[in-house]
Structure formats: C-alpha cells, structure tokens
C-alpha cells in the first residue's frame, strides 16, 4: 500500500465508529442453535467461506458437549487445511513501561507507585536483542507504554536499532510493534522503519465497560483507539493486528466485537487484520478489577475454535499468559503463532539465571516459563514444524497481496518449506543434539508425506546448503 498525498481525504467510513453495542447484543440474543445449524456453519467455514456475525452467534450460543466438540473438530480441520503443521515463534521485547493511562487491569498504569519504571537505553536494547538472537529468535514484537517518550521517532529508531544487531548467525528479520495509537503522520514515520505488523488491542468492545476500566488517560477515548488501525492502513501499514482482553466483559460480546472489526477492515480495505490476539486477564501489580467476567478454560478453548472458523486466513496468537498445558491443548484448534522463552521484564532477557518473576517489574503474570528450546522440542515431539519464517513480509506478500496467495492455497505451499528452512537454521545454530536429531527426523518425514511441497528436490538442496552454513534461504 502506498502513502496517500497530504491532501488526501480519508473515507468517512474508515474513521466512523463502527461498533454498535445494541447490534451485537441483538444478534447474540436472536439465535437458538440446533445441531444442523452448527454443522452447516462449520461446513461453510471448511469450504473457506467467511462466516457472518449471525453465523458466529450460532456457534457462540451452541452448548452441549456434542455441538462444542463438533466446533472444535471443525476448527482443527480448518487449521490443518490452511496452515498445515506450522507454528510461528516470536518473542515480546518490552522497550519502556512509562504510561499516562490508568487501566484497572494493567501493572504499568500511571497511578501504580509500586512498579519499577524503565526505558531501555540503546546499549541495553542491543544487549537484549543479542540475548534473543543467541537463543535462536528471528521475530520480535516491541512493546511500548503509552507515553510521550515513546514518540513515533523513538519507536522507529528502536526498530532500526534492532535490525542492525547481528550476533554470530543471528539476526532479527521481522519487528512487529505494540504501541499507542498514532495519527497518520506518526504511523508513516514508524512504517518507514520497516516494521512488520502494528498491533493495537481494543481490550473490550463494550462501550460502558471500556469507560469503566480505562479510568483516565488518552486510552479512555474509545473511538480514537477503535479507528487507530484505520489510520495505520491509510499510512501504508497493511499488516495490522487486533485483539480483545478476555475477562473485562462477557466473552461472547467481545468475540462478536472482534468479528465486527474484521468485517470493517474487509469492507473498507478489502483485507482483514493480519493477526487476532485473545489474551485473558492475568494478575498484575496493583490490579483493581471485578473478575465476574473471568473466562473459564472450557469457554476459552471454545472461543478460540470459533474465531478460527470465523476468520480462516487470519493468524491467531496465543501468548505465555496461559500455562504450557493449556497452550498445548488450545494450539490444535486454530492457533498459528506463539511466543517462546518469554520474559516481559525490562532488560530481563540478558539477566542470567532469572527464574523468579517480579510482578512490580512486569505488566502482568506469565504462566509459561519454558525456554525457547523446550517449546521447540515439545512442538517437534507433537509433530508441529516450528517456524521463524519472515519470507512473506520481506517479499511484499502482505495485506491484500497476501490474500491473493492465501485464498488459492499458494501460501501454504510456500510457508511449509520456508518453515522447514528456518527450523533447519535453528537446529544447526542453537539446538542441543537431541532436539537437532528430532527436528531433522520430522523435517524429512514431513517432506516424504507432504502435499504442500511442490519442488522437493529444490527444498532438499536448500536444506543441504543450510547444513553447509548458508543462511536466509527462502521461497
């Protein structure tokens, strides 16, 4: 997507608030599903057709073990059909935790006097990136508090610094961003640094709840936040990520809020968001929140499956907020990206032997403290292909152009071999011998069985080049 000229008028439909609480509530209350309805909607999704909000409401309101089991089976089948066995790995890197907002669920809120405030200096940022590269990471998301310190220029410079860090065979090939909403000019500045996805969560789409939990600060402006990613799209950032923080309000409402947000992007820009995230509330320093909307594990698993069926070509991110056991269970119902070896303390990656979380130095509690290699080893054991691939982003297969590859199935045929090549890099450069053996056994098994690799001889040749020391080979 190209920049628009300075006198370009943003379409009214792009900046107009598009969430109507009464619409969502009416849709949820209007359906009483039966098994045949559920089966018809699952079949519609498996035929790679987008689901309507009414379709999603049917799945949301479906109860009974049989119907929920069929929803999960459908999500599992759809994920296999579109994404194969790949799981993309990344790490979050917190750059600064100063913030002017008071959000009742967040440890970094402005009123919290217990939190240890910090912004990484450039040498500290480089040290963190080297630590991440030495563990094998290739993809990062940089996280910033909402504060004037973290201006578009500061964010852009942080991105450029990360891209310059090369440690042995290590390098970061994709930098995503989670930061405050910007105006169009601010988003253009950040875009120029070569970012991947820009991620902003609405947290909850329910207006009254949004106002209640966002006590003060610019984040209290619901509409400014809701239309932020429209401004990002207008500025040329065509990979954007949305999300809801489940547990703030009724999960059923916020699932439909996410679907309505997807529909908005598709209607205005002809492409949906690149990713959807669905974090659940976890304990945070000085948290002051009524937990009556806490989402159970069974409902959480169900909502992930529904989102997978609703948005087949959107990446779905499951973070280390959740336990290892639950992540392993939920992954099969539609998740395509997870973080690994996660540390959300400012400067925490370069600390040696850091085993204990300090809640006053972190935004919230994480519940999966496995190392990156432990996660990779377990993924391999379960038959997944861990992937650090960044080829689509670097080849310009983003936004609407990505959909031209994704819908006919071409991306799967590119992504599977690219995932194998990045896995081979990890196995050669960072993996213990046991993981290395397990990884190559799986790669060659998948090649032998695969219908997703169109040129096996070419892939085998590239794998041999990786073993000989070549890096960054992709299709």
Place of tokens 């994920």: 79
As a whole number of angstroms, the longest Cα–Cα distance in the chain is 61
Beta strand 86-96 pairing with 337-339: parallel
DSSP classification of residue 244: B
pTM: predicted TM-score of the whole model, two decimal places: 0.94
In this predicted structure, what is the pLDDT of residue 15?
Answer: 60
Length of the chain counted residue by residue: 475
What is the torsional sign of CA 38, 39, 45, 51?
negative
Instruction: Tell which residue, 475, 15, 456, has the closest CA to residue 233.
Output: 15
Half-sphere exposure of 176 (CA within 13 A, CB side): 24
Q: Answer whether 41's CB lies under 8 Å from 74's CB.
A: no
DSSP classification of residue 7: T
Query: Tens-of-pLDDT digits for all 475 residues of the chain?
Result: 334 444 445 555 456 679 999 999 999 999 999 999 999 999 999 998 889 999 999 999 999 999 999 999 999 999 998 888 999 999 999 999 999 999 999 999 999 999 999 999 999 999 999 999 999 999 999 999 999 999 999 999 999 999 999 999 999 999 999 999 999 999 999 999 999 999 999 999 999 999 999 999 999 999 999 999 999 999 999 999 999 999 999 999 999 999 999 999 999 999 999 999 999 999 999 999 999 999 999 999 999 999 999 999 899 999 999 999 999 999 999 999 999 999 999 999 998 766 688 999 999 999 999 999 999 999 999 999 999 999 887 877 777 666 665 665 556 678 899 999 999 999 999 999 999 999 999 999 999 887 656 688 899 999 999 999 999 999 8
Task: List the end-to-end C-alpha distance of the chain, in Å, as a whole number.
Answer: 22
Helix (H, G, I), strand (E, B) or coil at 390: coil
Gap between the Cα atoms of 237 and 240, Å rounded: 7
Helix (H, G, I), strand (E, B) or coil at 103: strand
Two tokens, residue 239 = 């990979």
Helix (H, G, I), strand (E, B) or coil at 58: helix
Q: Is 55 left (phi over 0), alpha (psi -120 to 50) or beta?
A: alpha
In this predicted structure, what is the pLDDT of residue 455?
Answer: 82
CATH T-level topology, domain 12-19+78-370 = TIM Barrel (3.20.20)
Helix (H, G, I), strand (E, B) or coil at 114: coil
Number of helices (H), then strands (E), in the chain: 20, 13
DSSP classification of residue 150: S
Q: How far is CA 344 from the centre of its chain?
A: 16
Q: Answer whether 32's CB lies under 8 Å from 289's CB.
A: no
Alpha helices per DSSP H over 84-200: 122-135, 152-164, 184-191
In this predicted structure, what is the pLDDT of residue 394?
Answer: 80
Domain spans, the chain: 12-19+78-370, 398-467
In this predicted structure, what is the pLDDT of residue 12?
Answer: 55
In this predicted structure, what is the pLDDT of residue 1?
Answer: 36
Gap between the Cα atoms of 154 and 111, Å rounded: 24
């Amino acid at each position: 997507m190209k920049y628009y000229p300075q006198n370009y008028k943003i379409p009214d439909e792009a900046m107009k608030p598009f969430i109507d609480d009464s619409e969502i509530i009416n849709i949820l209350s209007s359906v009483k599903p039966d098994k045949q309805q559920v089966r018809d909607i699952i079949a519609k999704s498996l035929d790679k057709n987008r689901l309507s909000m009414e379709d999603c409401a049917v799945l949301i309101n479906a109860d009974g073990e049989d119907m929920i089991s069929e929803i999960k089976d459908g999500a599992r089948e759809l994920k296999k059909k579109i994404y194969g066995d790949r799981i993309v790995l990344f790490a979050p890197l917190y750059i600064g935790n100063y913030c002017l907002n008071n959000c009742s669920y967040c440890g970094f809120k402005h009123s919290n006097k217990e939190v240890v405030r910090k912004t990484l200096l450039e040498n500290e940022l480089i040290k963190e990136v080297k630590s991440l590269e030495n563990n094998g990471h290739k993809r990062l998301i940089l996280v910033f508090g909402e504060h004037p310190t973290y201006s578009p220029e500061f964010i852009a410079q942080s991105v450029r610094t990360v891209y310059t860090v090369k440690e042995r065979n290590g390098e970061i090939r994709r930098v995503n961003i989670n930061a405050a909403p910007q105006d169009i000019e601010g988003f253009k500045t950040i875009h120029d640094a070569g970012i991947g996805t820009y991620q902003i969560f609405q947290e909850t789409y329910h207006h009254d709840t949004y106002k209640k939990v966002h006590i003060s600060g610019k984040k209290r402006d619901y509409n400014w936040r809701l239309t932020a990613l429209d401004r990002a799209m207008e500025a040329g950032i065509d990979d954007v990520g949305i999300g809801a923080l489940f547990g703030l309000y009724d999960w059923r409402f916020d699932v439909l809020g996410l679907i309505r947000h997807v529909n908005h992007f598709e209607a205005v820009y002809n492409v949906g968001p690149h990713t959807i995230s669905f974090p659940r509330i976890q304990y945070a320093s000085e948290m002051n929140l009524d937990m009556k909307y806490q989402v159970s594990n069974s409902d959480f698993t169900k909502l992930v499956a529904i989102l997978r069926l609703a948005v087949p070509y959107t990446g779905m991110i499951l973070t280390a907020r959740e336990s290892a056991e639950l992540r392993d269970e939920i992954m099969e119902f539609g998740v395509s990206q997870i973080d690994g070896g996660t540390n959300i303390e400012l400067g925490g990656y370069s600390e040696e032997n850091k085993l204990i979380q300090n809640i006053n130095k972190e935004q919230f509690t994480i519940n999966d403290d496995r190392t990156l290699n432990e996660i990779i080893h377990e993924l391999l054991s379960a038959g997944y292909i861990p992937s650090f691939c960044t080829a689509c982003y670097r080849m310009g297969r983003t936004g609407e152009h990505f959909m031209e590859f994704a819908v006919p199935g071409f991306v799967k045929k590119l992504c599977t071999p690219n995932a194998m090549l990045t896995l081979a890099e990890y196995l050669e450069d960072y993996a213990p011998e046991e993981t290395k053996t397990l990884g190559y056994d799986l790669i060659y098994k998948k090649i032998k069985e695969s219908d997703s690799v169109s040129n096996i001889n070419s892939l085998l040749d590239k794998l041999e080049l990786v073993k000989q020391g070549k890096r960054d080979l992709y299709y």
